[in-house]
Amino acid sequence: MFTHTEGIYAAAKNFGGDSLQAWADDIAQSAKPALWFTLLDPAGVEDVPTTEPPVGSSYVGGRPDATADFVWPTQDEKPLTFLFQVDARPLFPYRLAVFAGEPNEPGGHHVAYFDPEAPTERRDYPANTFLSEWFMDPEFFERYHPVIPHQGLDIPRWSSEAHDQLMDILQARLPEEDDEFEDLYEDFRLMAEPDGEAIIRVGGYHAGIGFDSAADAVDKLGGAVSDWRHLVTLDSTRDMCIGDAGYFQVLRRDLDGATFAGTESS
């Protein structure tokens, strides 16, 4: 993964090919800080008992840690399912806790922001919680899956406005037309990922399947595409599948902190 821009230049040089070296400046200038979280073995393996992680730590599934004034979010009077919580520092000064029901319906997700230094306690589930049909392995979220953070730099992802803009710049630098240059870039982009399959990513760039998901946020909640930033994504990994090996992504609007969530399935 890229922990600094010098790593992007070194990777471009070692990757091979004149195109990537010519693109290195543009790619490095586009880089944004991000946090990836990978599962801590053997927590992601079925039938392996996992003890409860420390209060305030980062994990997927189980029960959330919340302050005394926290009110469990609902959708149509049904409590949402707790998906995960992560300490987002140093990117953001808070701990994120994410809940979901039917993401494509009103009230289908909730993001709670907690002061990482505030007293919290582990909260029990209310009755009648439910998980969207997009999450094909609901039992996965009944157990705790501790995760490990990896800080680095993310670069634009398909399909998004930022990706399209970067592709226009890179293509203009090619000495001749090349239909495969986007595939070359995608191979390079994967080098930004940490070793081991990441299940959560905070910050960096949002992605889309065939269209910019920020445009969908604009259609439903307003603003401009440039107002919406990637907040966090939960990805299919190991024995947990979201739809057709897709992901659950949350965007945040700069203006007022509104969030927009949805599932993408390839």
Q: What is the CATH number of the domain that holds 42?
A: 2.30.320.10
pLDDT digits (tens, 9 = 90+) for 93-144: 999 999 998 877 889 999 999 999 999 999 999 988 777 777 888 888 989 9
Note if the pTM is more than 0.85. Answer: yes
Residue 44 pLDDT greater than 50, yes or no: no
Strand partners, 99: 82, 110
pLDDT digits (tens, 9 = 90+) for 197-251: 899 999 999 999 888 999 999 999 999 999 999 999 999 987 788 988 899 999 9
Query: Cα separations (Å) of 223 from 36, 232, 257, 263?
Result: 28, 20, 12, 21
* DSSP-derived secondary structure for the chain: --SSHHHHHHHHHHH-SHHHHHHHHHHHHH-EEEEEEEE-TTTTSTT---PPPPTT--EESS--EE-TT----EETTEEBEEEEEEE-TTTSSSEEEEEES-TTSTT-EEEEEE-TTS--EEPPPPTT-B--TTBS-GGGGGS-EEEEEEEEEE---SSSHHHHHHHHHHHHT-SS--TTHHHHHHHHHGGGSPSS-EEEEEES----SSS-HHHHHHHHH-S-GGGEEEEEEEE-BTTB-BTTT-EEEEEEETTT--EEEEEE--
Domain count, the chain: 1
81-85, 152-156, 180-184: least confidently modelled range = 180-184
Residue range(s) defining the domain that contains residue 40: 5-264
Torsion sign, CA atoms 10, 13, 16, 19: positive
pLDDT digits (tens, 9 = 90+) for 14-42: 886 677 888 999 999 999 999 999 998 74
What's the first-to-final CA gap in the chain, in angstroms? Answer: 24
